[in-house]
Amino acid sequence: MERHEALEMVKKQLTEHRYQHTIGVMETAVALAEQYGADVKKAELAAIFHDYAKFRPKEEMKRIILEQNMPKDLLLYNTELWHAPVGAYLVEKEAGISDVEILDAIRYHTSGRPNMTLLEKIVYLADYIEPGRIFPGVDEVRELAKQDLNKALIKALKNTIQFLMNKNQTIYPDTFYTYNSLIMEVKGEEAR
Ligand code: DGI
Ligand code: FE
Ligand code: FE
């Protein structure tokens, strides 16, 4: 699918603010893909569609999670987590995108997962550091992203976990598993 066609599709699903965020994620993901040698076209499409399901009614998302046999424990945690796996499902169904790498980058863009692919990492990080983001610590992650993808991701995960803890919110286990997996990956690199 061409960029303009994809953008037209997502624009209808999003608010103007969320659409501008999506443009930022797209541009950032393309730059990271060029920098780290990922498939630029896949990064672009995954970024464009990453928040496709963001504004679907919670009841619809819940139904899809149950009917499509997605992990049921998602329903026990923050509803903010749901749009990622539901988005992957709807993007395949409604936009006809069947590329598993693109769909997984959408599916795991909020929680991450252990042993993330390069494309998954790029979309996750682009979502965190796109120019419209202003949360505390984001500049440090932007700087790390210039040097080391995994170290930037660790900082982003750490910030997110700390942010949620400070608000006494639950933390989805995959968020911790993602953090652990990245720490081990960096330790492995350093031992070589
Ligand atoms: O959809 P976006 O706002 O662009 O960003 P996102 O898909 O990364 O969603 C982030 C939101 O999800 C943020 O408000 C934090 C919230 N959230 C709630 N529980 C968890 C969580 N994020 C992670 N990574 N892990 C959680 O357990
Ligand atoms: Fe999102
Ligand atoms: Fe997003």
Q: What Rg value do the Cα atoms of the chain yield, rounded?
A: 16
Distance between the two ends of the chain, CA-based, in angstroms? Answer: 40
> Does residue 28's CB lie within 6 angstroms of at least one atom of ligand 1?
no
Q: Does 50 contact ligand 1 (Cβ within 6 A)?
A: no
Ligand 1 within 6 A of CB of 171: yes
Tokens representing residue 93 in the block: 């169904």
pLDDT > 70 fraction of the chain, expressed in percent and rounded: 100
Instruction: Give the pLDDT mean for 160-174.
Output: 97
- Summarised one tens digit per residue, pLDDT across range 109-131 is 999 999 999 999 999 999 999 99
Query: In sequence order, which ranges of the chain are alpha helices (DSSP H)?
Result: 3-11, 16-36, 40-49, 58-67, 83-95, 100-107, 118-129, 138-147, 149-166, 173-191
Is the distance from the beta carbon of residue 178 to the nearest atom of ligand 1 less than 6 Å? no
For the chain, helix, strand, coil in percent to 5 are: 70, 0, 30
Considering the domain 3-135 in this protein, what is its CATH number?
1.10.3210.10
Please work out whether the CB of residue 130 comes within 6 Å of at least one atom of ligand 1: no
- Confidence class of residue 192 from pLDDT cuts 50, 70 and 90? confident
* Ligand nearest to the backbone CA of 29: 3
Tell me, in angstroms, the distance from the centre of ligand 3 to residue 163's CA.
Answer: 17
* pLDDT score recorded for residue 191: 87
Output the pTM of the full model: 0.97
Residues near ion ligand 3 (CB < 5 Å) are 51, 127
| Span from the CA of 79 to the centroid of ligand 1 (angstroms) | 9
In the structure, what pLDDT confidence band is assigned to residue 92 with cuts at 50, 70 and 90? Answer: very high
- Per residue in 25-49, pLDDT tens? 999 999 999 999 999 999 999 999 9
Q: Which of 81, 57, 78 shows the shortest CA–CA distance to 70?
A: 81
The CB of 160 under 6 Å from ligand 1? The reply is yes
Among protein residues, the one with the nearest Cα to ligand 1's atom 16 is 80
Look at ligand 1, atom 23, and give the residue with the nearest C-alpha: 111
Give CA torsion, residues 155, 53, 82, 68, to 10 deg: -130
Domain ranges of the chain: 3-135
Q: Which ligand is located closest to the Cα atom of residue 113?
A: 1
